[in-house]
Amino acid sequence: MELKGVLDDKQIEVLTIVYLVFLPLSVIGSFSVLVVSIVRWKQLQEQVHLLVQLALADLLAALILMSTSVFNHVSFESGVVICQYLLPLSLTFYFISFLLVLVYAWKSKSPIQGWRASPTEDEVGQSQCRRKIVALPVYAIVWLIPIAMYVAYVHTPFITSADLIKFADLSVNAIARNNSKYCTSCILFLHVWRDSCSDPEEIHDDFIKISLFLVVITVMLSCSVIYYTIGKWYKANKHEGLFPVEGDGRSRRRIRRVFSTARNMVMVILFCWTPALVLILLCGLLYRSRIQQQSLFFLYVIQAASVSLHGFLNSMVYAWRRPNFTEAVLGENTPLVGQDRVAFFDESLRSSL
């Protein structure tokens, strides 16, 4: 069976370059947040636990995806076998990142649960201890479930040495007929078009597509609902004396920042992963039509760029674009008023005294 209408060598090379250009931004952004958070661990409060995990998951996902792009660029001989393991592994860490984003949103709902006007020190200590005890199993679940799914994925009967040999033989034959490296390319979502190269991995491909849809849409909708609820709470209580009144409009600016931060956290997922979801959906719908895969090349480019920026945008939204993080890192946070009643993502990361 000849491969007709699929992406040619030049288009695959363009996709590889797109990954290699944009992925370093995510590596630098995630790595910087990870290093700074660890160095300033004692100076940062509770949020640093989630920031470190989020930066680590984004960093690992970007590094693995970048390594597959390097293999693809240099035509690594064993790349076809390695891709069977590395591409799903990169998606595994992206899934972990999604779940951490959901945990971050869940922890941000604390203001709608109500506060005491002036909690005692003992109650504060007990509350922090209780949160730490609850957080540990939650973090363990967030990391272990995707990793367990990956282990089950690579150890199912669908990936065996026989399948890999069959896949490699098919690739060689396809290359001989079409003078193309399409079958041996290590590009994310390249074979969602259900070409002959992906026949041995059809069940695995379906599993990845369904999982991606469920995880991304669930996280996106859940975060939207949570942050919308927080926004309604702020609007309903901003005149109830729960926020300090300052003549310079500082409270109003902080409330506006709450809405802006919540919106940006949801927009990162929407911007980075909507092209991938649209691509997968269109490939499934148009496969049996006369439309060829090459006609979706522009969408492949957009998807490659947007996915590659996931870690970079997360580092901006959750860290470097937030004044409370940068002030805490630089040791410049000396608030004029107390900020006890703020959302988790707007809580001041105060320096230790």
Looking up tokens 């009643």 gives 341
In a domain, 353, yes or no: no
Torsional sign, CA 15, 20, 21, 27: positive
pLDDT > 80? residue 50: yes
351 within some domain: no
pLDDT > 80? residue 146: yes
Q: Rounded to whole angstroms, how far apart are CA atoms 279 and 273?
A: 10
Using an 8 Å Cβ cutoff, are 104 and 344 in contact? yes
Sign of CA dihedral 25, 31, 36, 42: positive
The lowest-confidence range among 139-143, 229-233, 271-275 is 229-233
* Average pLDDT for 10-25: 93
Any idea which residue has 């972990």 for tokens? Answer: 96
CATH number at residue 304: 1.20.1070.10
pLDDT for 158 equals 53
Measured CA to CA, the distance from residue 283 to residue 294 in angstroms comes to 11
- For residue 342, what pLDDT is reported? 56
Q: What is the pLDDT of residues 297-348, one digit of tens each?
A: 999 999 999 999 999 999 999 988 887 777 777 765 544 333 444 555 555 4
Of 64 and 179, the one with more pLDDT: 64
- Tell me the C-alpha distance between 181 and 171, whole Å: 8
**Contacts for 56-60: CB closer than 8 Å, 24+ residues apart:** 56/30, 57/93, 57/94, 57/96, 57/97, 57/100, 58/26, 58/29, 58/30, 58/93, 58/97, 58/310, 58/311, 58/314, 58/315, 59/26, 59/27, 59/30, 59/31, 59/34, 59/311, 60/93
Number of separate domains in the chain: 1
- Residue with token string 């105060």: 350
pLDDT at residue number 335 = 42
Residue located via tokens 């990954």: 19
Domain that holds residue 152: 9-113+130-346
**Quick check: is 122 in a domain?**
no
Q: Which two tokens stand for residue 281?
A: 């959906």
Q: What is the DSSP letter of 186?
A: -
% of the chain surpassing 90 pLDDT: 29
Which residue, chain included where needed, has tokens 């890999």?
A: 164
Q: Per the domain annotation, does 4 fall within a domain?
A: no
Average pLDDT over residues 259-277: 88
Paired tokens of 316:
């901006």
Rounded mean pLDDT, 148-163: 70
- Does 338 reside within a domain? yes
Q: What is the pLDDT of residue 9?
A: 84
Domain assignment present for residue 120? The answer is no
**Ordered DSSP codes for 249-317:** SHHHHHHHHHHHHHHHHHHHHHHHHHHHHHHHHHHHHHTTSS--GGGGHHHHHHHHHHHHTHHHHHHII
Residue 2 lies in a domain: no
C-alpha to C-alpha distances, 31 to 36, 37, 256, 315, nearest whole angstrom: 8, 10, 29, 9
The three-point CA angle 75-23-272 to 5° equals 120
Residue 218 has pLDDT above 70, yes or no: yes
Instruction: For the chain, give the mean pLDDT.
Output: 75
> Are residues 191 and 279 in contact, defined by beta-carbon separation less than 8 angstroms?
no
CB 37 within 8 A of CB 44: yes
Nearest alpha carbon to residue 82 among 96, 97, 65, 95 = 65
Q: Is residue 21 part of a domain?
A: yes
- Report the predicted TM-score, pTM, of the whole model to 2 decimal places: 0.81
